[in-house]
Amino acid sequence: MLAFYVWFAAPAIVDSVFDDAMAFLLSQGAIAGVQVLLLVVFIWFLFFPVSLSLKDVETNQLQIFLSAPVKPSDLLLGEFVGVMPFYGIAIALLAGFFTALLIPIGIGVVQTAIIILVFILVFFSALWIGTVVAGVLRAKLGGSERGRDIGKAMGFLLALPVVGIMYAVMGGALETITESGAVGALEFLSIFPSSWGASLIVEFAANPGSIGAVWMETFMNLGGLVIFLLASLWLGTELAKRTYTLETAGFGFSKAGSDGIAYRTLRSAMGGGPFATIIVSFMKDYGRRLQNISRLGYIIGIMVLINVFLVRPDEPFGILIISQALFGLLAVFVVGEVTVRGKPALFIYRKAPRGIKRLIGARLIHGWMITVTTAVILLAIQLMLLPEIELLPFLGYLGFAFAVSAGFVVTALGFFLVMPAFSDKSGEFMIATIGVAMIASMAFVALVIALGEFWAMVAHLCLIWSLGGILLLIGASRIRQLE
């Protein structure tokens, strides 16, 4: 597959950008630019397996393997080899693009093979390091309920650096580095193994077909990558021997303390009684789980990164458009608890008098308290950063954010009741997430194009609330019949 892509598919792709790409590779900022590109992918290969593993921190399978006559290092190597084909596809695409870009200027077969080897060494090194880190964290955190909660929280937050680098590159950081002389950037980036490979690629572009002219650079950089990979493999296997142990996992559970003044006030505001108790229990359980707090942090972080690196709207309506999808995503994360906690919880409410009605009502109020409050505060902060905004439009946009985020909660809750998602990794959870995000963003943009700003806001509110109401009615009936 790699050979076909390098020699046939990739050349067709790079034809349209060949001139600009070669001018970049032969420029003074080429080394820094290629270093940044490879570093972004290097970090993605490192962080992605860690983030993916921490979202499902379990040690049951690990305990089963460790009880068999299997070395801990073999477990780690087996996990690494098992995911290599998936990540190998990404390596093939990247290596194929660069080699197809350089083949027309006359690089030889040996240089092409070395470039492919560079990509393999660099990114499989990052993948191995990520696999080791993920394995160590999984072994340390998976033995208790609190540890698993910490792991899931870390899984979300670790995605932010990768997203931030990606947004920075999309926002023009690469051009800034290459146009500024890149002296400081080169000194910093040169410590990463990806920079060794980047320097070799740029040297080949400047000396096509002449491996002898850069034999010393080739030997040093390629040898350094080989040594780095071998050292990483050895250190990882040694670390696995010390980390992977056959220990009995602890049984953890959430322990509620006495209600503070905030919960007592909330209980009183809700009128006391069973319904108020359910709302307070939802709030306490939500705040106790670090995974939920990390999701809030993720939404806030994404919004900050978008405003810093991608776009900084200079008028309120642009901020409102950018915020829509994130508000919808926040609603999904909050009210998804209604089914993600499993069927047994639903059956308990269904057996209680007016249990389903109280469950839905409590989830709505709980979702509104978190989602609406967060949405209004975030939008208010962004609007206050604008140089000039009058009070009346300011309050109007906040009122719209209040109403539309409340509608997202209703719609998201309806989705989860119609298609119960008993795991945040299930297909139903992804459908609800994508569905609400599309309604929140794409539908709003389409309405703005068709109706203009004011009437689009009115139509969007009508769409969200009517769709949410219908889904909520259907979902309530479906949950009552769930087996």
Is 215 found in the same domain as 283?
no
Higher pLDDT, 3 or 132: 132
| Residue with more model confidence, 83 or 229 | 229
Q: Decide if 355 is inside a domain.
A: yes
Is the pLDDT at 74 greater than 80, yes or no? no
Q: Between residues 458 and 94, which one has the greater pLDDT?
A: 458
Q: Which residues contact 40 (CB under 8 A, 6 or more apart)?
A: 165, 166, 169
pLDDT band with cut points at 50, 70 and 90 for residue 4: low
- pLDDT band of residue 252 (cuts 50, 70, 90) is very low
Q: Is the pLDDT of residue 1 over 60?
A: no
**Same domain for 268 and 239:** no
384 vs 2, 17, 169, 283, CA distance in Å? 52, 42, 27, 29
The pLDDT, as a whole number, for residue 421 is 79
Task: Note the pLDDT of residue 130.
Answer: 86
Rounded to 10 degrees, the C-alpha dihedral 301/302/308/309 comes to 140
Asked if 281 and 232 sit in the same domain, the reply is: no
Output the CA torsion sign for 270, 274, 275, 281.
Answer: positive
Is residue 354 assigned to a domain? yes
Q: Is the pLDDT of residue 449 over 70?
A: yes
pLDDT at 387 over 50: yes
Same domain? For 236 and 267 the reply is no
Give the pLDDT confidence of 237-247 residue by residue, as tens digits. 888 777 765 44
User: Is the pLDDT confidence value at 249 over 50?
Assistant: no
Task: Give the sign of the dihedral formed by CA 30, CA 167, CA 148, CA 422.
Answer: negative
What's the CA gap between 337 and 258, in Å, rounded? Answer: 23
Q: Are residues 326 and 392 in the same domain?
A: yes
Residue 67 lies in a domain: yes
The reply to whether 226 and 296 lie within a common domain is no
pLDDT at 377: 92
Q: Is residue 77 in some structural domain? A: yes
Contact between residue 429 and residue 336 where contact means Cβ atoms under 8 Å apart: yes
d(CA 185, CA 466): 53
Domain that holds residue 430: 262-480
Mean pLDDT score, 393-402: 91
- Answer yes or no: is pLDDT of 285 > 80: yes
pLDDT confidence band for 61 (50 / 70 / 90): low
Q: Which of 243, 274, 297 is the last residue of a domain?
A: 243
Amino acid at 122: V
Residue 355 pLDDT > 50: yes
| 188 and 288 housed in the same domain | no
Lowest mean pLDDT among 44-48, 207-211, 221-225: 207-211
Question: Is there a domain that residue 250 lies in?
Answer: no
Residue 276's pLDDT band, with cuts at 50, 70 and 90, is: confident
**Shared domain check, 285 and 199:** no
**What pLDDT digit, counting tens, does each position of 162-189 carry?**
777 777 766 666 666 555 555 555 566 6
- The pLDDT assigned to 407 comes to 93
Burial of 211 (C-beta count, 10 Å sphere; 0-12/13-18/19+): middle
Q: What is the pLDDT of residue 250?
A: 44
Number of H helices, E strands in the chain: 24, 0
In a domain, 211, yes or no: yes
**pLDDT at residue 366, rounded to an integer:** 92
For residue 9, what pLDDT band results from cuts at 50, 70 and 90?
low
Say whether both 355 and 315 belong to one domain: yes
Asked if residue 254 belongs to a domain, the reply is no
Of the three residues 215, 243, 271, the one that is the final residue of a domain is: 243
Q: Which residues of 12-23 are buried (b: 16+ CB within 10 A; e: fewer)?
A: eebeeeeeebbe
**Mean per-residue pLDDT over the chain, rounded:** 78
Asked if residue 252 belongs to a domain, the reply is: no
344 plus 229 within the same structural domain: no
Cβ atoms of residues 375 and 401 within 8 Å: yes
How many Å apart are CA 193 and CA 50, to the nearest integer?
19
Q: Which of 216, 243, 270 is the last residue of a domain?
A: 243
| Same domain? 102 vs 175 | yes
288 lies in the same domain as 320: yes
> Could you give the number of structural domains in the chain?
2
Q: How far is CA 145 from the centre of its chain?
A: 23
